[in-house]
Structure 1
Amino acid sequence: MCKERREMIDKIFTSHNLSAIIFWRPDELVLMLGYLPLWGLSVLVYTADHEPVLFVPELEPEDLLPKGIVVKTFPWGVQNCIDPWNILYKEIKMVLQQKHLLNKPVSFIKSIGRTSPCRMSGEQPPLPADFKSQLCELCEGGVKDADFDLISLYQYKTSLDVEGLKLAHSVAAIGVVVFYQQAKTGITESKLAASIEFAIHEKIGQNNISFARAWPMIQSGSNTVNAGKYNRTTGKIIADGEFVLLEMGVCVNGYWADITRTTITGEITELQKSMFETVTTAQQMAIEMLQPGIAVCEVDRTARKVIEEAGFGKYFNHALGHQVGFRYHDPGCCVAPDCTDVLQEGMVLTVEPGIYGIELDGGVRIEDNLLITANGYQLLSNYPRSLRGN
C-alpha cells in the first residue's frame, strides 16, 4: 500500500478509534492493495498497528497475491471442509486477539450492496448470506459505522492508482480504434461488439496485463434513441446514414475505464451534424471548467446550458457524469444539477453529455474520463472522439 492511502486510513482509525477495518469486496481490495482476486472471497483485515493480514481461499492462485503483506489461507473449496467460513471467522478473531484489539470496535462498509466483479466474473462472489452479521460478532467492541469516511476512499486515486488507470485506458483505446474501423453499413451490432471485446481480451499477457475484459454495448439507428436510458446490443444490421454508439466499460487488473463514442455511417444530415456538434461543444465547455474547488453542479449546468441553447435541452435526460476507477461507477458524488459536492485533486470522473430523441431519429453521446489535478485536469481517455474517428 502506498503512503497516500495509508495516511487516509490513519485518519479513519484516529477519528473513529477503531481496532481494525475489514475489506472484502473486489474493488475494495484493488483500492487498498492493487489486488484483484480470482474468486472474490479474499478478506483483508487492516489493523491499527499497520500490519494487515490478507485471508485468501486455498484455491487462490499464488501469482496474483500482493507482495509485502502477511497472507493466510482458509479452506474454501477444499475437499471435506464442511464449514470454511467458520474457520475464517475464528482466524480473524485470533488475529485481533493476538494484537489485543478485541475491546475496540471494527468497521467495514455496510451500506453498499453491489460490487465490481472479481476475475471469475461470471458470478458474484459466493459469500454466505450471514457474512456481515458474522463479522459483527467478532469483537467485544462491536462494529462502528464509518461508512461515510470509508466510501470517501473511492474518491481519491493515489499515484499508484493513476498508473493502473492509465494502463486500463490504454487498453480501452484499442476498443475505440476497432469501433471506428468496423462500424460500417452491413455489420450487425453484435458482431461489432464481439470484435471490440475480442481485441481487448487478447491483450492479457502483454505489458503486465493479467486481466482485461470489456463490456462493449453497440446501438445503431433507432436503437440509439434509448441510449440515454440503457445500453443494449442487439442483432440489428447497421444501415446507411445511421448513428452508431459505443458504450464501453473496460476493466484491466481491477481498474476501470468508462468510454462512449458515436460515429455515423454514410452521409450526415444537417440535423445529425447539429446534434453531434452540440454534444461536442457541451462536453468541451464542461471539461474546461474542471479544477479543484469547482462544484460539480456548475459543471453539469455548463454542459446543459449549451445543449438547451441549441434547442435540444429536453433531449438530455441524464446526469453529466459520475466517478469511476475502482468500479464502472464508483460510489460518491454524481455530476448532476442538484449535487453541490466540490471537485478535489485525485478524483476521476466522467463527462458524458448526450442528446436522444425519437423525433430526432437517433441519439449521440461522447464520454471521457478525467483526473482532477492540482491545477486542472488530465484527460485519461486521450483518443479520437470525432464523428469519423480521425
Structure 2
Amino acid sequence: MNIQRLDQLRALFAREGYHALLCRMPQHVVMFTGYQPILGNTFCLISLNTAHELEMRLAVPVDEQDMVPQVGIKEVNTFAEETMTYIGTTLDAVRKPLGELLRAAGLNEGAVVGIEGGRSPIIPTYTQVGVTGPETRDLLHLLLLGGEYRDATSLLDELAAIKTEEELAAIRRSEAVACAGFAAARAAIHPGATEADVAAATYAALLRAGYAAPRAYHVQPHVHVMAGPRAAFAYRAFNLTSHASINQGDTVTVQMEIGVNGYWAELTRTFFVGSISEEWRAAHQACVAAQDAALQHIREGASAREVDGAARHVMGQAGFGSAFKHGLGHGFGFQAINHAAAPVLHPASNATLQSGMVHNMEPAVYLDGKGGLRLNDNVAVRRSGNELLSQQLSRDLDWLVVNE
C-alpha cells in the first residue's frame, strides 16, 4: 500500500470509528494492495494495531499466492476449494485461514469492522467473481464473536474516488495501451469490413500492447463497435458490436475499456469512412469545443454540474443540444464504467471536484437514422487545473477521417 492510501485510511478510521476494513470485491483489493485477484475469492483485512499502525492481511487462493506483493503485507494465509482429497466452496475453505487472520489482528469483542455493501457493480476479473452476500456475512459473524460489522460502502466509494499518484501512473499505462487499440481500429476500418472485423483487430492489438506494458500480468480488453445508423444508439448504457457491414460515409464509433492489472481507462473515438459530411464536421467541431470548455472549468473545488453545463452550453449553441443524450462523464479507474462513480458530471449532479479524482469527458451527438459521434477522453482533477490523461489520442479530423 502506498503512503497516500495509508494517510487516507488513518483519517477515515479515526473519523468513522473503525478498527478494521474487510473487503472481497476485486476492485477494492486492487485499491488497497495493488494486487488484482483473478478468481475473485481473495479476502483483504486492514486493521489498526495497538500502536495505531495499519496492518494488512490477506486470505488468498493458493494458486494466486505468488501474485501477492512482497512488501506491505503483514500476513498471507492461503486456502484451496479443491484438492485431491477435498471439494468445497470458497466460504468453507476460507473459514479457518480467515478466522486466524481476524484473531492475529486482535479483532474480538467490541471491534468495529467495515464491510462491503451491495450498491457497487463488481468488476469481473475472470469467468466468475465472488460476491459478498448473506452467506459471507453469516460466516463473518461466526468468526468475529462480539464484534460489530458496519456497511462501509460509502467509505469505500469515497476512497476509490481519489486516486494516488501511483494509481494515476497505472491508469496512464492503460491509456497508452488504448492508443495502440485505436490505431488498430483505424487501420481495420474500410467499406465492406464488419463491425466485428474492426473489434477483432482492436482486441488483438490491445492484448499485444497490454501484455507488453511494464509489469503487466492481467489484461482485460473490451471493445464495442457501432457503425452507420446503429451508432445513433450508442448513448445507451451499453454498446454491442454486430456483424453489420461498414459503408462509405458511415460514422464508426469505437468504444473501449482496457484494464491492466485492475487499473482502467475508458475511451471512445468516432471515425468517418472515406469522407465526412458538413453536418458531421459541425458535430465534431462542437464536441471538441465542448471538451475545451469543460477543461477550462475542471479543477479542485469546481462544481460537477457547472462543468457539465459548460460543455452542454457549447453543444446547445451549435444546435446539437438535444442530440447530447447523457451526462458529460463519471469516475473510473478501479472500474471502467460505473455511472454512479464519483465524480458524476451531469445536469443533476451535486458533486464537487476534488484533486485526485479521475473522470471521463464524453460530449456526443446521436442522430436517428444517420449515426453517432462521441468524443470520450479521460481527465485527472488537479488543485490548480487538470491533466488530460488521454492527450496522446488524437481527436483531429485528419486522423479520424479514414480514406479508402
Q: TM-score range by the shorter chain?
A: over 0.9
Map of 1:65 onto structure 2 = 68
Aligned partners of 1:225 and 1:358 also within 8 Å: yes
Residues in 1 aligned to 2:37 and 2:27: alpha-carbon distance in whole angstroms:
9
Residues 300, 383 of structure 2: 8 Å contact kept = yes
Q: Which residue number in structure 2 is paired with residue 314 of structure 1? A: 322
Q: 1:207-262 deviations in whole A, cap 9, x for unaligned? A: 22212221111111101110111411111110001111111101111100000001
Question: Which residue number in structure 2 is paired with residue 132 of structure 1?
Answer: 137
Write the distance in 2 (CA, Å) between the matches of 1:171 and 1:385.
17
* Distance across 2 between alignment mates of 1:126 and 1:77: 19
Amino acid at match of 1:181: A
Q: Which stretch of the first structure deviates more once superposed, 128-137 or 11-20?
A: 128-137
Three-state SS of the structure 1 residue aligned to 2:265 is: strand
Q: CA RMSD in A?
A: 1.8
Identity %: 27
Range with bigger deviation, 105-114 or 83-92: 83-92
Asked whether the 8 Å contact 1:262–1:387 carries over to 2, the reply is no
Go from structure 1 to structure 2 and tell me whether the alpha carbon gap of 1:231 and 1:172 turns closer, same or farther (over 3 Å shift): same
- Corresponding residue to 2:55 among 51, 66, 69: 51
Counterpart AA for 1:7: D
Report what 2:97 is aligned to: 91
Between 1:211-220 and 1:255-264, the stretch displaced more is: 211-220
Letter in 1 for 2:121: R
Name the counterpart of 1:39: 39
Query: Which amino acid letter does the alignment assign opposite residue 379 of structure 1?
Result: L
The DSSP-based 3-state class of the residue aligned with 1:335 is coil
Provide the C-alpha distance between the structure 1 equivalents of 2:82 and 2:271, rounded to a whole number of angstroms. Answer: 47
Contact preservation (8 Å) 1:16, 1:146 = no
Matched ranges for 1:132-171 at <5 A: 132-139=137-144, 140-171=146-177
Change (3 A) 1:221 1:297: same
- The one-letter code of the counterpart of 1:350 is N
User: Structure 1 pair 154/98, CA: closer, same or farther in 2 (3 Å)?
Assistant: closer
Instruction: Specify every segment of 5 or more residues in structure 2 that has no aligned partner in the other structure, as ranges.
Output: none
Q: The residue matched to 2:397 in structure 1 has which SS?
A: coil
Which amino acid is the alignment partner of residue 370 of structure 1?
V
Question: Which residues of 2 match residues 210-229 of structure 1 at below 5 A?
Answer: 210-229=217-236
**TM-score, length-scaled by structure 1:** 0.94
Structure 1 CA distance for aligned equivalents of residues 106 and 260 of structure 2: 39
Pair 1:339-2:349 in alignment: yes
* Preserved CA contact (<8 Å) 2:24 2:132: no
Report Cα offsets for 1:45-64 as digits up to 9, x if no partner.
111122211110122251x2
Q: State the 1:294 CA deviation.
A: 0.4
Distance (Å, rounded) in 2 between the aligned partners of 1:61 and 1:183: 43
**What is residue 185 of structure 2 aligned with on the other side?**
179
Give the aligned length.
386
What is the Cα deviation at residue 85 of structure 1?
A: 1.9
Bigger drift between 299-308 and 73-82 goes to 73-82
- CA distance, structure 2, for counterparts of residue 149 and residue 241 of structure 1: 48
1:110 aligns with 2:110: no
Q: 1:179 to 1:123 in 2, by over 3 A?
A: same
Deviations 1:78-106 (A, max 9, x none): 33143552352343333333443212121
**Alpha-carbon shift at residue 127 of structure 1 (Å):** 6.9
Query: Residue 386 of structure 1 aligns to which amino acid in structure 2?
Result: D
CA contact (8 A) 1:58 1:76 kept: no
Give the C-alpha shift of residue 205 in structure 1: 4.7
d(CA) in 2 for partners of 1:11, 1:115? 26
Return closer, same or farther for 1:344/1:318 CA change in 2, 3 Å cut-off: same
Matched with 2:20 is: 20
1-side partners of 2:147 and 2:97: how far apart? 17
Stretches of structure 1 lacking an aligned partner (at least 5 in a row)? none
CA deviations 1:300-355 (Å, max 9, x no partner) are 01111111111211111111100010101353331101112111110000000111
Write out aligned runs for 1:233-312 (5 A).
Answer: 233-312=241-320
Partner SS state of residue 370, structure 1: strand
